[in-house]
A and B are shown apart, each in its own frame.
Chain A
Amino acid sequence: MVDARGLSCPVPVVMVQKAVNAEKPNELEVLVDAMVCVENITRYASSQGYTVDVKEVDGGEFLMTLKKA
């Protein structure tokens, strides 16, 4: 699980990039709290061959599930 809540651009994407490069996971959960991060991570994840599922949890936080397509 990558917790990127509250971090400014583009740190959340860097964290996801690091996790993807290091572990090449089939599934990765990412927690963010801004729509702009959801958009940026979705663009990056799809470019790496992941499908992205976004669920709004409480208080404007988003749980993103990246799955290798």
Chain B
Amino acid sequence: MGKNSKVNIWVLVTGLAIGIASLVLTAMGNPKNMGFCIACFVRDIAGATGLHQAAVVQYVRPEIIGLILGSFIMSLATKEFKAKAGSSPAVRFILGACVMIGALVFLGCPLRMVIRMGGGDLNAFVGLAGFAIGILIGIFFLKKGFSLKRNYAVTATEGFAMPFSAVLLLVLVIAVPGIFIFSEKGPGSMHAPLFVSLGIALVVGALAQKSRVCMVGGMRDAVMFRDFNLLSGFGVIFVTILIGNIILGNFHGFSTYLQPIAHASQLWNLLGMVIVGWGSVLLGGCPLRQLILSGEGNGDSAVTVFGMLVGAAFAHNFKLAGSAASLAEDGTYSAGGIATTGKVAVAIIFVVLILVSVLNLPKIEKKTK
């Protein structure tokens, strides 16, 4: 098999932009190792709108709004904006929720996983192992013919649903911020100025639309087609963050101990990211990619993002999310981890992923028709 090594320059540019943007956003106020995190930021929006009541993670993150609108504007400019929907929307909603819960068990989406790796967080490397395992499981089913079936051209209103929601959220947070709940302490209270976050995310969203950057697509394409195009973006983000952290003096070696907003309960770091990898392969893209697709008119991805929002709310309402490692004032160290409810949720999600994977294989599907 010939090597497929052609790398799109836009992927490298986008990787570099995401890396720098993440460093800048953290320097300007975002939580440590959380310049960008799709899972965390969607979760914060769920909190700000009262879908969950976890007091430390409530903020209307302009990054999410900016990514959607950046993609929307770029896709209009390149005439790629197309309203499409109808590819197993309810299953996608549930998968979106599952991926979100898996990400919050680990404490980060694949993007934050790479950012944490570049910040010296060894727990994130365990997450990476889980992510790779999840992707391999997903690839197994793709090779067997797994598909959520095709989408269809629909009216433009479907395509505008997510960009409209993003604009509405932006207008409301600027005009009447009082209707939202904002954290007074914890990660939700830490954020770069609104217009800085928004501006940076607009640029990143536009670049991500143009380059199709996708965290899960990188490993998937490398394994399936020996296509290293998207994986190069993954690599550039890691290297940019690592070098940036070293230059800024934020890098203190690799360790699992007391990493920012992370826990050292390794089995659950691993399993959380297995879910994210597997679920994202079934969806056809990581959480970042779903946001970008929702901006370019894909109604199925919009439904997936709404599923992520509900999954985030459930993750906190039912205490499924991981709790971060902490050091008490008397010096007692807690490695953090997952409550029993979270462990049960992980088990249930594995059953869901197996069912979705198997029931959408060609042979099974013929029998059920």
Q: State whether these chains interact.
A: yes
A residues with CB within 8 A of B: 5-11, 13-14, 17, 33-36, 39-40, 43-44, 46-49, 59-60
Instruction: Give chain B residues whose Cβ lies under 8 Å from the Cβ of A17.
Output: 224-225
Evaluate contact between B217 and A9: CB separation under 8 angstroms.
yes
Cα of A47 to Cα of B165 in the assembled complex, Å: 41
- Which B residues, 1 to 19, have Cβ-Cβ distances below 8 Å to chain A? 1-4, 6, 8
Q: Contact check: which of B87, B147, B150, B212 meets A39 at CB < 8 Å?
A: B212
Known: A10-B142, A43-B227. A48 touches B151 (CB 8 A): no
A10 to chain B, nearest CB (A): 6
Chain A's closest residue to B226 (CB) is A47
Chain A's closest residue to B301 (CB) is A8
Instruction: Give chain A residues whose Cβ lies under 8 Å from the Cβ of B145.
Output: 14
Evaluate contact between B87 and A8: CB separation under 8 angstroms.
yes
Cα of A14 to Cα of B148 in the assembled complex, Å: 14
Instruction: Give chain A residues whose Cβ lies under 8 Å from the Cβ of B2.
Output: 47-49
Cα of A48 to Cα of B226 in the assembled complex, Å: 11
What is the 8 Å Cβ interface bit string for chain B, positions 227-258, against chain A (1 contact, 0 not)?
10100000000000000000000000000000
Q: Is residue B263 within 8 Å, beta carbon to beta carbon, of the partner chain?
A: no
Known: A14-B142, A43-B4. A60 touches B227 (CB 8 A): no
Cα of A6 to Cα of B154 in the assembled complex, Å: 12
A39 to chain B, nearest CB (A): 7
Instruction: Give chain B residues whose Cβ lies under 8 Å from the Cβ of A59.
Output: 153
Instruction: Give chain A residues whose Cβ lies under 8 Å from the Cβ of B147.
Output: 7-8, 11
Evaluate contact between B152 and A47: CB separation under 8 angstroms.
no
Q: Is residue B285 within 8 Å, beta carbon to beta carbon, of the partner chain?
A: yes
B residues with CB within 8 A of A: 1-4, 6, 8, 80, 82, 84, 86-87, 142-143, 145, 147-153, 212, 214, 217, 220-221, 224-227, 229, 283-285, 300
A23 to chain B, nearest CB (A): 17
Query: Which interface residue of A7, A10, A59 has the most chain B CB atoms within 10 A?
Result: A10
Evaluate contact between B150 and A6: CB separation under 8 angstroms.
yes
Evaluate contact between A47 and B225: CB separation under 8 angstroms.
yes
Evaluate contact between B6 and A8: CB separation under 8 angstroms.
no
Evaluate contact between B143 and A10: CB separation under 8 angstroms.
no
Known: A39-B212, A44-B225. A9 touches B284 (CB 8 A): yes
Given contacts A7-B147, A13-B225, A39-B8, 6 further A-B contacts (CB under 8 A): A7-B149, A8-B284, A10-B284, A17-B225, A43-B4, A59-B153
Evaluate contact between B150 and A44: CB separation under 8 angstroms.
no
B148 to chain A, nearest CB (A): 7
A46 to chain B, nearest CB (A): 7
Instruction: Give chain A residues whose Cβ lies under 8 Å from the Cβ of B149.
Output: 7
Evaluate contact between B225 and A9: CB separation under 8 angstroms.
no
Instruction: Give chain B residues whose Cβ lies under 8 Å from the Cβ of A48.
Output: 1-2
Known: A5-B150, A8-B148, A49-B2. A44 touches B143 (CB 8 A): no
**What are 12 inter-chain pairs, A to B, with CB distance below 8 A?**
A5-B150, A8-B285, A11-B142, A11-B147, A11-B284, A34-B82, A40-B227, A43-B6, A43-B227, A43-B229, A47-B225, A60-B82
A16 to chain B, nearest CB (A): 10
Instruction: Give chain B residues whose Cβ lies under 8 Å from the Cβ of A9.
Output: 214, 217, 284-285
Cα of A44 to Cα of B2 in the assembled complex, Å: 10
Q: Contact check: which of B80, B224, B226 meets A10 at CB < 8 Å?
A: B224
Evaluate contact between B217 and A14: CB separation under 8 angstroms.
no
Chain B's closest residue to A8 (CB) is B284
Known: A14-B224, A47-B3, A59-B153. A6 touches B87 (CB 8 A): yes
Q: Contact check: which of A7, A13, A36, A46 meets B150 at CB < 8 Å?
A: A7
Chain A's closest residue to B144 (CB) is A14
Instruction: Give chain A residues whose Cβ lies under 8 Å from the Cβ of B148.
Output: 8
Instruction: Give chain B residues whose Cβ lies under 8 Å from the Cβ of A10.
Output: 142, 217, 220-221, 224-225, 284
Chain A's closest residue to B212 (CB) is A36
Cα of A40 to Cα of B140 in the assembled complex, Å: 20
Instruction: Give chain B residues whose Cβ lies under 8 Å from the Cβ of A34.
Output: 80, 82
